[in-house]
Amino acid sequence: MPGTKSARGPQGAVDLKLDLRSPLKSAKNKDSGFLDGRPSELPVLEKTNGITAFQALIHMVKCNMGTGILGLPLAVKNAGLLIGPLSLLAMGLITWHCMHILVRCSQRFCHRLNKPFMDYGDTVMHGLEASPNTWLRDHAHWGRHMVSFFLIFTQMGFCCVYIVFLADNLKQVVEAVNSTSSNCHCNETVILTPTIDSRLYMLAFLPILMLLVLFRNLRVLSIFSMLANISMLVSLIIIAQYIAKDIPDPSQLPLVTSWKTYSLFFGTAIFSFESIGFVLPLENKMKDSRRFPAILSLGMAIITALYIGFGVLGYLQFQNNIKASITLNLPNCWLYQSVKLLYIAGILFSYALQFYVPAEIIIPSAISRVSKRWVLLLDLSIRFTMVCLTCILAILIPRLDLVLSLVGSVSSSALALIFPPLLEITTYYSEGLSPLTIAKDALISILGFVGFVVGTYQALDELIQPGHPVTFSNSTIFIQ
């Protein structure tokens, strides 16, 4: 998720992942040195002003309440009513275990090298340096670069997901505006008034996004973080109370589905669980970091239970009509239209936060190669180019379910499932790991790699198959 500049990139990505899903008083505190790019230089004394165990637990839960949870009902449909919840439970246990591995390895290298904090990239690099293999030791710096690459890919993928989400939900709100009522309980099908293509909505958001990415001060971005989280929290509470009542008969729903649709489930589910880069900064900010393993276990238990409950209830409520984001299934009344608008506002604010990550990794390296007179121009050019790139990618893949699955399969699998078990092997192999531990780590990494390959292939195959339209139509909504 070395030199000062190298450490700054990956850690910036980890820190902003917390910013996206945490309120103003986040686990890392926007005033701290973490967000200034100096994780290794943070004074140990600051730990005395750290967060409590309860605050860490709250941040641990809230940092996972992003857009991924809205796609879990469709993910459960892709896996089956029985296999979906069981797979979410298994995935929660595995990602929890991988987080513990990362924390344990990071603590080991901090003690060995006398550092108060070590980010994901540096932990992987030092893990390779501890490997018994000469080639891996000689190329240990590649580990940090690989983590940086996948963090950039992940954050840019988040930005693409946000653009598709914004377009889909705003399109539906606009199309339903003439038939929107105050009655949220009528049982009828509303045919929406067709408007412009969703890709034109994406282009309409482009100028706003360009203005948002001009904010480079993290204190300003923290205000966006607070606004985003308030709007998302209110929206999730309203959605949860709706899907939990008057559930239709589920007897006709399949318990198991085919492996093709299951691979799409894997990508969406791992996208939702992908918060492994968050755990190291959170652990470092605790007053008593020795309590962090227990907090991590409790937090992941709550998150997994919420994911299973939200995914299953959403699928049971809307069944085969479930859409890529559950917000697209909400009734056509002003209460639930306001939920969509709230989430649109939250995601819009969050775009700038997620964009900060790849920008802080790419831009400093680029502007260091030009004279001062060109710094501002190059900075703005890179920012606008990156925003346009995310918009172009969203236009090319305007199906929210496939974007979620693709980003999850490619980058989240690597960061959450493939790297941590291999890191444990390289870190502790010289001390004598048991064959059972090695087999366990190899199995988890293989699982992550298979999910990476199959999930990516299936998502791309869905896009290029003849007879499958590229656009994702949301012209009809069912009101219950």
| Exposure string over 409-431, b if 16+ CB within 10 A, otherwise e | bbbbbbbbbbbbbbbbbbbbbee
What confidence score (pLDDT) does residue 46 get? Answer: 41
Residue 290 token pair:
């020795």
What confidence score (pLDDT) does residue 457 get? Answer: 87
Q: CA 293 to CA 99: how far, in whole Å? A: 9
In the block, residue with structure tokens 């946000």:
162
Q: CA 377 to CA 382: how far, in whole Å? A: 9
Quick count: other Cβ atoms within 10 Å of Cβ 118? 24
Q: Which amino acid is at 2?
A: P
In the block, residue with structure tokens 């000689």:
138
**181 bridge partner residues:** 333
Residue 260 token pair:
């093709």
Q: Which amino acid is at 339?
A: V
What HEC string does the chain produce?
Answer: CCCHHHHHHHHHHHHHHHHHHCCCCCCCCCCCHHHHCCHHHCCHHHHHHCECHHHHHHHHHHCCCCCHHHHHHHHHHHHCCCHHHHHHHHHHHHHHHHHHHHHHHHHHHHHHHCCCCCCHHHHHHHHHHCCCCHHHHHCCHHHHHHHHHHHHHHHHHHHHHHHHHHHHHHHHHHHHHHHCECCCCCCCEEECCCCCCHHHHHHHHHHHHHHHCCCCCHHHHHHHHHHHHHHHHHHHHHHHHHHCCCCCCCCCCCCCCCHHHHHHHHHHHHHHHCCHHHHHHHHHCECCHHHHHHHHHHHHHHHHHHHHHHHHHHHHHHHHHCCCCHHHHCCCEHHHHHHHHHHHHHHHHHHHHHHHHHHHHHHHHHHCCCCHHHHHHHHHHHHHHHHHHHHHHHHHCCCHHHHHHHHHHHHHHHHHHHHHHHHHHHHHHHHCCCHHHHHHHHHHHHHHHHHHHHHHHHHHHHHHCCCCCCCCCCCEEECC
pLDDT in tens, 306-347: 999 999 999 999 988 888 888 888 887 888 888 888 888 888
For domain 4-478, give the CATH number: 1.20.1740
Local confidence pLDDT in tens for the 480 residues of the chain: 444 333 333 333 334 333 333 333 333 333 333 333 333 333 333 444 677 888 788 777 766 777 788 889 999 999 999 999 999 999 999 999 999 999 999 989 988 888 888 888 889 999 999 888 888 888 899 988 998 898 888 888 888 988 998 998 888 888 877 766 666 665 444 555 666 788 899 999 999 999 988 887 766 767 777 777 788 888 888 899 889 888 888 888 889 888 878 888 988 888 888 677 778 877 887 888 888 889 899 989 999 999 999 999 999 999 888 888 888 888 878 888 888 888 888 888 888 878 887 888 888 888 888 888 888 899 999 999 999 999 999 998 878 888 888 888 888 888 889 999 999 999 998 888 889 999 999 999 999 999 889 888 888 888 777 544 444 334 333 333
Q: CA 75 to CA 79: how far, in whole Å? A: 6
Q: CA 278 to CA 6: how far, in whole Å? A: 18
What confidence score (pLDDT) does residue 301 get? Answer: 92
> Considering only CA atoms, which of 50, 466, 4 is closest in space to residue 281?
50
**477 bridge partner residues:** 190
Query: Residue 420: how many CA atoms within 13 Å on its side-chain side?
Result: 28
Q: CA 171 to CA 391: how far, in whole Å? A: 16
pLDDT in tens, 232-280: 888 888 899 889 888 888 888 889 888 878 888 988 888 888 677 778 8
Phi/psi for 191 (5° steps) reads -90, 115
What confidence score (pLDDT) does residue 70 get? Answer: 87
